[in-house]
Amino acid sequence: MKKISLISALLLLLVLGGCSSIRRAMKAGEVAKINNIKATIVTTQGDINFYLYPEAAPITVANFINLSKRGFYDNLKFHRVVDNFMAQGGDPLETGLGGPGYQIEDEFVEWLDFYQTGMLAMANAGPNTGGSQFFMTMYAADWLNQKHTVFGEVISDADLGVIRKLEIGDRIKEIRFEGDIDFFLALEKDRVDFWNETLDRNFPDLKKYPVKDITDPVFTETYTNYKDELVRIQEKKLKTAKPYDPKFIPAWIRYIDNKYTAAKKKEETPPSERLEERDEDNLSVIAASVTVTETEDITREDDKGTVTEDITTESAPVTEEKPEDSEAN
């Protein structure tokens, strides 16, 4: 989405409304440099290239990067592929029941959704139960909005074509990245350290990948530029809808500012005065994957009419129901 001019983006906003086109608006003028993270999922059918959205889903992106750099996804199968819908992988058991041994929360933003094709998102077994399983959509699937965290989008139609060729049993060879991924891991270092403790217990043969502290001097300039970049993104976003209020500090900017400030304060506090404490969010993470099995009625419509099927969804399911058939859980 970083490849269309601001004028084109605004026209699309008027035509499509509410779709994930903020990246288009950012492309004109100043390019988002720090947020410009790309991932390449190398599969047995070919490479699939994605733009990642750390400004929308920082925890999810950090989790995906960390698992990838540690080799968690290497050689795993796509265990679930539904024609004209999605391909799902990232399960170490390759059954739909597995995960990394911890869970992460959902991250939703209004401007990033499933109205577009080729979205990269987290599978789950309900609210705030993300882990390692992810899926890639082949077509628009707006009934998944606000149910699954979207954290990436295909770069080109060629990438979308590879997704549509995937079959059950195809494998992930490796996942590569472009961009300053170490900075985003450093922003979430407390969480990443907790994740890695769990991974080391459950998967002792995984590769190691060092994570620096956000207060490392190498990140000083990057951190300042990142804050400025988020402000510019927010200004552009608000100016398209209403006058910009410079006093308004959105949650995503406060979030990274608080992370940095807390890390600096901890660094400056003498060890003897520090309290032994752990991130409450980390303590609330369940250190084992939850298995949820339920039967859902899925309504499909084909050239023979409407057919209702029962399918069993297990751990980390993607709901394949159409909007009109959705029921609140």
pLDDT along the chain (329 residues), means of 10: 42 39 40 79 98 93 98 98 97 96 95 94 96 97 96 97 98 96 92 98 97 86 77 64 45 54 60 43 33 36 37 43 36
* C-alpha span between 241 and 178 (Å, rounded): 32
For the entire predicted model, the pTM comes to 0.67
How many residues are there in the chain? 329
User: CB under 8 Å to 159, separation ≥6 — which residues?
Assistant: 47, 48, 49, 50, 118
Q: Spell out a b/e string for 114-153, using b for 16 or more CB atoms within 10 Å of the CB, else e.
A: bbbbbbbbbbbbeeebbbbbbbbbbeebebbbebbbbbbb
Start-to-end CA span in the chain (Å): 33
Give the angle subtended at the CA of 80 by the CAs of 74 and 84, to the nearest 5°.
Answer: 120
Cα gap 14→8, rounded to integer Å: 10
Q: 3-class SS at 281?
A: helix
Where along the chain do its domains lie?
33-211, 226-269
Distance of CA 193 to the CA centre of its chain: 19
pLDDT, one tens digit per residue, over 267-289 is 665 554 544 443 333 333 333 33
Residue 269: predicted pLDDT: 58
* Residue whose C-alpha is closest to residue 35's, from 171, 200, 151: 151
Amino acid at 161: G
With 0-12 CB in 10 A as exposed, 13-18 as middle and 19+ as buried, what is 64?
buried
**101-150 pLDDT per residue, tens:** 999 999 999 889 999 999 999 999 999 999 999 999 999 999 999 999 99
Would you please indicate which residues are annotated as catalytic (active-site) residues?
A: 80, 85, 88, 124, 135, 144, 148
pLDDT, residue 152, reads 96
Assign domain 33-211 to a CATH class. Answer: mainly beta
